[in-house]
Amino acid sequence: MKTQKIRRATISDAKTIHKLVNDHARKEQMLPRSLNDIYECIRDFFVYDESSAIKGVCALKIVWEDLAEVRSLVVADEFQGKGIGTSLVKKCLEDAVNLGVTRVFSLTYRVDFFKRLGFKDINKNKLPQKIWGDCLKCHKFPDCDETAVIINL
């Protein structure tokens, strides 16, 4: 019998998260993350675990008192289109509400996906400078080709 659930990531999930994220980063579908970064941010991650195998991941990073970012959303290729990504983002939004965060943004190549969940376009320059710390480390900086989207909770 298959069991499936979204749960908080644990240390033992870090290498799987790293592989999923970077496999998709190599296809230019998202930005890469180092294994060290994933270990440091492991508490930000949720995983979609089906029969003890991780099929998708997503992180919620707190940026400021009223702002968080949904990031590193990825679903294994063979499991895309089954609602896993939607479930992971909804779990992050639920977590944001529980933490008292009122706005959540994402920098994404999948704008239509986020718009179906209620996110709206926003000019990146309207986001606080604090988010640019990660951008400075990005190999695409300053020529970012991701689109910023935001949702008010």
pLDDT of 41 above 50: yes
> What are the structural domains of the chain?
4-152 (3.40.630.30)
pLDDT value at 118 more than 90: yes
The pLDDT score that the predictor gives to residue 68 is 96
Identify the burial level of 134 via C-beta atoms within 10 angstroms of its C-beta, where 0-12 means exposed, 13-18 middle and 19 or more buried: middle
Phi, psi of 104 (to 5 degrees): -130, 130
Most trustworthy range by pLDDT among 2-6, 118-122, 139-143? 118-122
The predicted-structure confidence for 22-33, as pLDDT tens digits, reads as follows: 999 898 888 889
> Would you say residue 149 has pLDDT above 70?
yes
What are the angstrom distances between the C-alpha of 25 and each of 32, 78, 110? 5, 16, 13
